[in-house]
């Protein structure tokens, strides 16, 4: 196919102006300029921005829609223009350290019409990639490239044609596991998900538990994910596996000086799990068994 037209989308809550400015500067230094840049102020007003390559659009929402909801706002605006083939979504506190990222993304999509999602590698300022940022079970080598079953929400590229077919982000998730829901839908529709570690986003080393809602939404959204996307026999297997893993990971803290904090997190997790069971999950459309087999062959069956 001919070279795809690329857009960059960034969602911010307005509390990282210096980081956003640095990210935009790294976008401006790319050796292939984006055709459009969309910045979403997620429940906030934004100031002005410097001149950038590509047409810049700023959208401000009245309320914080969560990460997936804010990104859907950017996608909706790009669809209004109707001239974008690939969108690159970047965390507002990230940084593109190399100037060839957008060119590499363009070339990947130009070479494969069934490439749906490209996940970047995320590393801190010391070049270290956290284990949780490697989208496979055997995460010892973050530089191992290949087809996978999930991707990192902080830095990735989407085929707009894929999104038109499988749908956008699950906005109701608000925070956590929205990437898995979207990846499973893409795989079920026959699209490829590629982890390309040569595409790097530098990002501060963080823990997802820094967010107050982390434990509740992690549990709630796992239940929703299972109810929405898994064949019925796999739902209890998936949820049972994650319950056991959660208890195993929490047990050491319960025996140490952080016992009160661990207990609080476990209570929030249990409350989120119950919420996921009793509330609507946004509609059920389970993946086909052949997708389960495809994911298993890729090294990550949808039970863990």
Q: Burial-class residue 221 by CB neighbours within 10 Å (0-12, 13-18, 19+).
A: buried
Q: What's the confidence (pLDDT) of residue 157? A: 98
Of 185, 206, 227, the one marking the end of a domain is: 206
pLDDT in tens, 291-304: 999 999 999 999 98
Residues 243-262 have a mean pLDDT of: 87
Return the minimum-mean-pLDDT range out of 45-49, 94-98, 141-145, 159-163.
45-49
**Domain identity same for 154 and 225:** no
pLDDT value of residue 257: 83
In a domain, 252, yes or no: yes
Q: In this model, does residue 210 exceed pLDDT 80?
A: no
Task: Report the CATH number at residue 96.
Answer: 3.90.550.10
Residue 208: predicted pLDDT: 66
Shared-domain flag, residues 290 and 154: no
Please give the pLDDT value at position 164: 98
DSSP collapsed to 3 states, the chain: CCCCCEEEEEEECCCCHHHHHHHHHHHHCCCCCCCEEEEEECCCCCCCCCCCCCEEEEEECCCCCHHHHHHHHHHHHHHHHCCCCEEEEEECCCECCCCCHHHHHHHHHHHCCCEEEEEEEEECCCCCCCHHHCCCCCCCCCCCCEECCCCCCCEEEEEHHHHHHHCCCCHHHCCCCHHHHHHHHHHHCCCEEEEEEEEEEECCCCCHHHCCCHHHHHHHHHHHHHHHHCCCCHHHHHHHHHHHHHHHHHHHHHCCCCHHHHHHHHHHHHHHHHHHHHCCCCCCCCCCHHHHHHHHHCCCCCCC
More confident residue, 68 or 255: 68
Q: Residue 200's pLDDT is what?
A: 98
**Do residues 53 and 92 both lie within one domain?**
yes
**Mean pLDDT, residues 160-170:** 98
Candidate from 28-37, 199-208, 271-280 with smallest mean pLDDT: 199-208
Question: Can you give the pLDDT at residue 252?
Answer: 86
pLDDT at residue 1 greater than cutoff 70: no
Q: Which domain holds residue 184?
A: 6-206
The yes-or-no verdict on residue 86 having pLDDT over 90 is yes
Is 165 found in the same domain as 115?
A: yes
Residue ending a domain, among 206, 241, 275, is 206
Work out whether the CA dihedral 228, 233, 236, 240 comes out positive or negative: negative
- Number of domains, the chain: 2
Q: 193 with 187: CB under 8 angstroms?
A: yes
pLDDT, position 139: 85
Q: Has residue 304 been placed in a domain?
A: no
246 and 269 Cβ atoms separated by less than 8 Å:
yes
Residues 199 and 248 in one domain: no
Residues 100 and 240 in one domain: no
pLDDT at 206: 76
Both 25 and 81 in one domain: the answer is: yes
- For residues 192 and 225, membership in a common domain is answered with no
Is residue 34 within 8 A of residue 61, CB to CB? The reply is no
Q: Is residue 302 part of a domain?
A: no
Decide if 124 contacts 158 (C-beta within 8 A).
Answer: no
In this structure, are 57 and 196 located in the same domain?
Answer: yes
Answer yes or no: is 230 within a domain. yes
Of 166, 186, 206, which closes a domain?
A: 206
Kindly state whether residue 144 falls inside one of the protein's structural domains: yes
- Confidence at residue 28, expressed as pLDDT on a 0 to 100 scale: 95
pLDDT of residue 270: 94
Residues 32 and 163 in one domain: yes
* Domain-located, residue 200: yes
Share of the chain above pLDDT 90, in %: 85
Q: Do 146 and 175 belong to one domain?
A: yes
Q: What is the pLDDT of residues 20-54, one digit of tens each?
A: 999 999 999 999 999 999 999 999 999 888 777 77
pLDDT above 90: residue 160: yes
Q: What mean pLDDT comes out for the span 4-19?
A: 96
User: pTM for the complete prediction?
Assistant: 0.95
Give the tens place of pLDDT for each residue, 62-79: 999 999 999 999 999 999
Tell me if 303 is assigned to some domain: no
- For the purposes of burial, counting CB atoms within 10 Å of the CB of 187, is it exposed (0-12), middle (13-18) or buried (19 or more)? buried
Quote the percentage of the chain above a pLDDT of 70. Answer: 98
* pLDDT tens, residue by residue, 121-136: 999 999 999 998 999 8
- Inter-residue contact 228 to 279 (CB < 8 Å): no
Judge if 42 and 146 occupy the same domain: yes
Is 145 part of a structural domain of the chain? yes
- Mean pLDDT for all residues in the chain: 94
């Amino acid at each position: 196919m001919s070279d795809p037209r690329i857009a960059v989308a960034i969602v911010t809550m307005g509390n990282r102006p210096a980081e956003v400015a640095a990210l935009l500067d790294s976008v401006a230094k790319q050796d292939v300029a984006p055709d459009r840049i969309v910045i979403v102020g997620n429940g906030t007003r934004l100031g002005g921005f410097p001149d950038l390559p590509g047409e810049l659009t700023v959208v401000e929402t009245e309320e914080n829609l969560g990460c997936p909801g804010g990104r859907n706002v950017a996608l909706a605006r790009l669809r209004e223009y109707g001239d974008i083939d690939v969108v690159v979504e970047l965390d507002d506190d990230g940084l593109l350290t190399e100037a060839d990222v957008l060119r590499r993304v363009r070339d990947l999509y130009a070479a494969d019409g069934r490439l749906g999602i490209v996940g970047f590698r995320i590393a801190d300022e010391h070049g270290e990639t956290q284990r949780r940022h490697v989208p496979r079970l055997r995460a010892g080598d973050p530089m191992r490239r290949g087809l996978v079953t999930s991707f990192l929400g902080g830095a990735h590229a989407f085929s707009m044609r894929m999104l038109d077919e499988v749908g956008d982000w699950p906005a109701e998730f608000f925070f956590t596991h929205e990437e898995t829901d979207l990846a499973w839908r893409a795989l079920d529709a026959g699209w490829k998900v590629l982890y390309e570690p040569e595409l790097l986003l530098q990002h501060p080393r963080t823990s997802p538990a820094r967010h107050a809602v982390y434990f509740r939404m992690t549990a709630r959204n796992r239940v929703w994910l299972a109810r929405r996307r898994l064949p019925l026999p796999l739902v209890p297997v998936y949820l049972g596996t994650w319950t056991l893993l959660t208890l195993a990971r929490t047990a050491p803290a319960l025996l140490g000086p952080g016992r009160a904090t661990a207990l609080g997190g476990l209570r929030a997790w249990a409350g989120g799990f119950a919420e996921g069971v009793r509330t609507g999950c946004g509609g059920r459309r389970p993946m086909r068994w052949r997708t389960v087999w495809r994911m298993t062959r890729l090294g990550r069956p949808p039970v863990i």
